Structure 1
């Protein structure tokens, strides 16, 4: 299907599809000799997954990370979507009920307590994102943070110094190819360091490297050791994982 046909089918704009292509979220599998994008049935299936995640409030960067993961299972994702959308429906039904009661209250037909006026509202967190994080997200990062929090102040300081030393070593190598022996030896040291704090599979290690670039908070902190270090580490971590898979 051509891009305009896909946009009409999915109820989104052509500009949105172009944006998904530009950020690497959804590339059309084929192009014509004239350069027109052609979407296959497989592309449409992936688009459906993307739109479900969007409906549940996920940011595009996280959707890209999830659907591009090598262990992403479409059926498992659909089962999760089904569960979360049912939960969302229940929440919306409660909010609709609250709204209807509020309208009657405003007309003087019933009395509502202040607590009843806010039944169904909960903006404290995104429960859908939390469940997906547990399946595809950065649970290894959370485990590491929890372990760090259990250490004494002196132990934390020692680990921080060791971590910064690895960052400085990698920063000094960032002009080399991420595939070089020097870069791979240093990034291997980073992998072993992280696994002292948590449990990082090679795939999780690769995903963490991508997060260094996708999440500006990581990029900003890592690049304090040298401009472009986050990108260098991402590429070196991906190479390290790919060589061992």
Structure 2
């Protein structure tokens, strides 16, 4: 049984023009002709076309395919091994590019609009897990608070970030001191620190009513990446995340009774 160019084009998912090109390049010439002189492809031709398309999918040029198919037993394995090695190298390069792109996306989603040099000047050696920014964007991106927070963060200058970071550092030292001194999470000292944290969020990012502050503090316990944005890993203490959460909830109750 034989098939027309149009039929083979439909079978193989290639254009008629491509089949004509393969014929002209002496890569795939139909083995039959109709009485009217039209190309007709037999089963062997279809099998050869399948091989050609397989090699094309792997990125071989037509010249390379012609060489392989001229002496398949001698050349195919060598060429396939070379292509396999090349594809693995390409995958490695592409994966690196994917990681760079993902990190760029995450940096953009933090709302920090600083150059790499400015980031270093402001944040120094502090390293944050930026993947949290992507997850937070997916989780909270539709909320007005998140949108406002990102917009205000994007508007901060380098000096703003320096002031913000210095303020946060002073607060962290006070929080760790209260924790290590054994101040109860519902003591005035701990609740005042929670209120200071709520004011920091409202001052630099978005209005933070007590119920929102509680949701934020809950996230610190549920996701270590979130807490690391507030207290970097080297400054953390076991249980400090829960201490801050409980202080925030205690303060929310205090604020609500005022």
TM-score normalised by length of structure 2: 0.41
Work out which of the two has the higher radius of gyration on C-alpha atoms and give 1 or 2. Answer: 2
